[in-house]
Structure 1
């Protein structure tokens, strides 16, 4: 029987290599500058210069690759553009200082780069592979730091959890990166878009690093998101059905046989009281919601900040957006999740749809204990990847199509200016 599995749908205009570099620079920009102490002390100003320089370079490269400013209609990027409105209005009051305007400029460059990249969003797997490669390289620096200096990579300050010893990465960051590339690689392997050796090379080390971070949010997001993604493939993929069955059996056996060990790992040595208030997060959330606000502050927020309240991290995307971009921002972020989720449900079963469901589910779950849905962050990149996977294939562009394709296009069509 002929193989009827969907194949990667290349962009009619081809995807330049510079696009992969742009995606990697966007990831570098969202790594952040605050975290654990590194083996070689890196000034925060130097790290910020590198991350911001990466964003400027990404925008410049994307613009050079798309000089004609050809962009695709994207509800996701359009909603992000609308999110700039409350961000600028609230930041213009300077209640959060001049840093708020700087963060607005950063978000504007980030959104502008996504608009330029939208030209190459045909619903294929090109950006998925870029995503996995770059984040796997980031995890490689974490593993290298663990080998070079285990004490710096597993500091007592973080309770022995894995941190970045070469680049200042926190345990939640490492756990997030590991969980995302594990989920995407598993889905690629199930659909035979990658060989077993390559999949194992990515999944096994990433699982080890995820376990060393003791990050509960990333672990739950991985398993729940992957379960939802695989369920979307059950009717069309025998491999997905087998994997789902064996995974359920494995989880049941592990839950019965290793219940005490799993509970100890999950609690991370915390008391039940500390665990119930989410390691102190609930106290910050209650104080933030109880703070008096004017009608304008409720609508537009206080301006883009460092996702903290009274010097303590908010660690909740929805409350962080409420604090910085108000109820309007919360509504726009909710619209992003609902629109992407609705489009994913309406798409026919496919690997692209499964990957998008995994990414959307993961970001929705992580939003409860992690901030980032209202500003340039890895979570917005994950959702941008989901949007690219859900994009309909583009029509052929005769001006920039590969030579083998151009030969099939009539001369009059090649010579005609396409607007």
Structure 2
């Protein structure tokens, strides 16, 4: 695989993938946006991303990637399950969308070399999304904090739900903290990203995103403790801060965490458990158990499933569950086998976050931000071309000039 650096247009492609995965369902916006228009924009972004990726990689040079290969197998399973049209023609359209998504990742894999380029693209794009959320909050606080969502922050300019905003804020906060610890960005620039993101995360009252951020950062920073003094200092201060906050602000933290819910509602995961029980006890044919009913809108009986594993089981069957599990296991295994480094720490954070969020959020079986987070983790875990390419043999008594050494293996 080539050792060439990613072209600038690769950042545009990544940004278009982010736009595509924002979704079309959410809160009411200040200016009503027809869902058909939003779907046109998001789908158009995906088509444009694929076209641009193909334009800069006309020779179809790709990098071997277990992650994208497993996604391709998941796509095949999705097509098989959707061909029966139990979920309608919309299932085939979702398969087409997933195919473009996976195809674009294959084309971008050419530049996956374990560097931090795509991390910066990831942070910039989601920070821009959060900027639109903040703008909506300033323009119309009532629309951004509606009673319908219990006063939780939503997207008032683009229809984003509190869990989505919390997810984006948590992910870019974690990645930015790691960049600071790795001395890849200055503290002032990092504060511009971290402080507003944490404020927006707090306004969403999203428990999953908060736990994912804390646990993911703990695991990621833990992987750097032996090699980074900055990581050790940060970890020590973080533990002290969390301890003080837990003791001094226990009641306030509990109130924020419960969001005004009763203990029964909280233990029932805000009604999710009822949907999960109904899904698991519903009668299914052997084919539906193995392949699922086809790609749908991640709902059952008209209610959201809000669990990636059960959503995959419902739509792509046991084969789909096995493939998604393989994705998490393979990425996690590769991360554990890599030597300590900043890219490895970022990958561990992303994998951990997605694994934690999969319990109360759907998205691991279809084109989604979670698959994009894992794609970034795969890019970070890819060995560099320089490390993967064997050095040219030395000839005794002969010096090979640097310009004559091949830096690319095709």
TM-score (norm 1): 0.93
CA RMSD of aligned residues (A): 1.6
Aligned partner of 1:211 among 199, 202, 210 = 202
Aligned partner of 2:185 among 194, 210, 213 = 194
Whole-angstrom CA distance in 1 between matches of 2:126 and 2:325 = 26
SS in 2 for 1:409: helix
Residue 396 of structure 1 and its aligned partner are, at CA, apart by: 9.9
Which residue of structure 2 lines up, in the alignment, with residue 410 of structure 1? 404
Which residue of structure 2 lines up, in the alignment, with residue 357 of structure 1? 348
Whole-angstrom CA distance in 1 between matches of 2:75 and 2:364 = 13
Which residue of structure 2 lines up, in the alignment, with residue 170 of structure 1? 161
Residue 395 of structure 1 and its aligned partner are, at CA, apart by: 4.3
Which residue of structure 1 lines up, in the alignment, with residue 135 of structure 2? 144
Listed one character per residue, the Cα deviations across residues 137-182 of structure 1 (whole Å, up to 9, x for unaligned) are 0000000000000000000000000000000000000000000000
Is it true that 1:274 corresponds to 2:233 in the alignment? Answer: no
SS in 2 for 1:162: coil
1:211-230 aligned at under 5 Å gives the runs: 211-230=202-221
Whole-angstrom CA distance in 2 between matches of 1:253 and 1:408 = 56
SS in 2 for 1:58: helix
1:301-320 aligned at under 5 Å gives the runs: 301-320=292-311
Which residue of structure 2 lines up, in the alignment, with residue 126 of structure 1? 117
Is it true that 1:99 corresponds to 2:93 in the alignment? Answer: no
SS in 2 for 1:373: coil
Which residue of structure 2 lines up, in the alignment, with residue 288 of structure 1? 279
Contact kept, 8 Å, 1:12 with 1:396, in 2: the verdict is no
1:6-405 aligned at under 5 Å gives the runs: 12-395=3-386
Which residue of structure 1 lines up, in the alignment, with residue 397 of structure 2? none
Residue 418 of structure 1 and its aligned partner are, at CA, apart by: 6.8
Whole-angstrom CA distance in 1 between matches of 2:387 and 2:318 = 41
Aligned residue pairs: how many? 398
TM-score (norm 2): 0.95
Contact kept, 8 Å, 1:13 with 1:396, in 2: the verdict is no
Deviating runs (4+, > 4 A) in structure 1? none
Change (3 A) 1:229 1:396: closer
Which residue of structure 2 lines up, in the alignment, with residue 8 of structure 1? none
Residue 14 of structure 1 and its aligned partner are, at CA, apart by: 1.7
Residue 52 of structure 1 and its aligned partner are, at CA, apart by: 0.2
Whole-angstrom CA distance in 2 between matches of 1:396 and 1:321 = 37
Listed one character per residue, the Cα deviations across residues 298-326 of structure 1 (whole Å, up to 9, x for unaligned) are 00000000000000000000000000000
Residue 381 of structure 1 and its aligned partner are, at CA, apart by: 0.3
**Structure 2 unaligned regions, length at least 5:** 389-400
